[in-house]
Amino acid sequence: MKIFFHIGAGKTGTSSIQRTLLNSDKGLQKAGVKYLGMMLENAPVKLFSWQKDSATEEFLKLEQLEAEKQVDEVLDKNIKFLEKDGVHTVVWSNEWFFGRHWGVLNPIKRLENAGHEVYVVGYVRRHDAWAKSAYGQWGVKHKTYKGNIVSFRDYIERRPVAFAEAFSPWAKFFGEKFVMRNFDHVGDVVMDFIGLLKVDKQAIDLARVNESPGNEELVLRAFFNDKQYDEVIPFSFERLFQTAHIDFKTDPVSWLNSLLPSEEDMKLVVESTKDDQEQVNTMLEERGQPRLNFQEKKINGFSINHNIAYSVLFQILERQAREINSLKNDVEILRERAGKTEG
């Protein structure tokens, strides 16, 4: 059995790799490959409560020897099951184990000692680019600390960027079977990882996850998270603002320009109405009127005055604030009446 254990690091396309593997489950299994998930939740044999994609923290609370024992048991039973099912390659991917090899390193090594062909895969990118991406993700979008939003410099001082110490145990234990990839060099990290599995690209349903938000969305998230003292998961913002119904990538000027007529569109109208033009011009001439002039007209691109747009939005917000305040007063009155009625 070939076993690929992908340990991240975070912010190197890990979520996109995981979602692609999950979406491609049927195609991969036809090719003899099985993705076991983040916490072996996609494995056919489930034995423990931590076998859920959201249960990494639960697993890390186990005593080390007990954790290793449980991982040994889950992997052993699943590999035997999958071998009978024609699977020759399994994949486990979880970036939590990038800096927390505790509990999994020895079980993975034991698989190699048992004769399986084991590869541990890690991606690394230049430190400054990683730091910027990490700050946007865990410093702003998913606030992982208490208090107001801190600056990039403060965030990096609290959480210095370091990769070597996390990679070293894996490199030491697995030698050349520790596959370390340069994220900045490989291009498409998802397809690079698929290439390591030697799977036909036709079997893959490509997915992109956790792409950095645009500046407009980032500002809104920063304002929202800054007002919350505790840690804030991205879903809190998404639930409040119903972001499933908001397109943060649409530029209204570009969008309307794509809808409004171009010079080419206008030429097409002129060309398609030549017969009608001639008849209309004849009627105009018979009545002493000049002919319609179809000299080419320049089409000015659509644009908006941002200051006027801001003014309109401010007026809408002010009106909504008054209405919300009025509704709050009405609710308080209804609560008082309900309390008196109960009394």
The helices-and-strands tally (H runs, E runs) of the chain is: 16, 5
Q: Are 119 and 63 in contact (CB under 8 A)?
A: no
260-264: long-range contacts (C-beta < 8 A, 24 or more apart)? 260/302, 261/299, 262/299, 263/296, 263/297, 263/298, 263/299
Q: What is the pLDDT of residue 172?
A: 93
- How large a percentage of the chain has pLDDT more than 90? 72
Does residue 341 have a pLDDT over 90? no
Cα–Cα distance measured from residue 207 to residue 19, given in angstroms and rounded to the nearest whole number: 6
Does 296 have pLDDT greater than 90? no
Does residue 342 surpass a pLDDT of 80?
Answer: no
Is the pLDDT at 209 greater than 80? The verdict is: no
Can you give the pLDDT at residue 7? 96
Q: Which residue has the tokens 């304002």?
A: 223
Provide the token pair at 119: 């590869």
- Angle CA 312–316–319, to nearest 5: 140
Contact indicator for 122, 170 with CB cutoff of 8 Å: yes
* Residue from 133, 167, 191, 130 nearest 7 by CA: 167
Confidence of residue 210 (pLDDT cuts 50, 70, 90): low
214: pLDDT confidence band, cut at 50, 70 and 90? confident
Question: Following DSSP, what letter does each residue of 196-262 receive, concatenated?
Answer: HHT--GGG------SPPPPHHHHHHHHHHHHT-SS-B-HHHHHHHHTGGG--TT--HHHHHHHHSPP
Region 89-104: mean pLDDT is: 93
Cβ atoms of 225 and 237 within 8 Å: the answer is: yes
pLDDT digits (tens, 9 = 90+) for 216-266: 889 999 999 999 999 999 999 999 989 988 888 888 899 888 888 888 888
**What is the arrangement of strands in the sheet containing 178-182, beginning at the earlier edge strand?**
33-35, 89-93, 2-6, 117-124, 178-182
Say what the pTM is. 0.77
What's the rounded mean pLDDT across residues 317-328? 93
Q: What is the mean pLDDT of the chain?
A: 92
Please tell me the predicted confidence (pLDDT) of residue 260: 84
pLDDT in tens, 119-163: 999 999 999 999 999 999 999 999 999 999 999 999 999 999 999
Pairwise pLDDT comparison (74 vs 247), residue with the higher score: 74
**Terminal CA-to-CA distance of the chain, rounded, Å?**
72
Mean pLDDT of 170-192: 94
Give the pLDDT band (50/70/90) at residue 343.
Answer: low
Q: Give the pLDDT mean for 78-99.
A: 94
> Count of CB atoms within 10 A of residue 232's CB?
22
* Cβ atoms of residues 79 and 56 within 8 Å: no
Cis peptide before 338 (omega within 30 of 0): no
Taking only the tens place, the pLDDT of each residue in 297-313 is 788 888 889 899 889 98
Closest CA to 27 of 235, 274, 204, 271: 204
Q: What is the pLDDT of residue 91?
A: 98
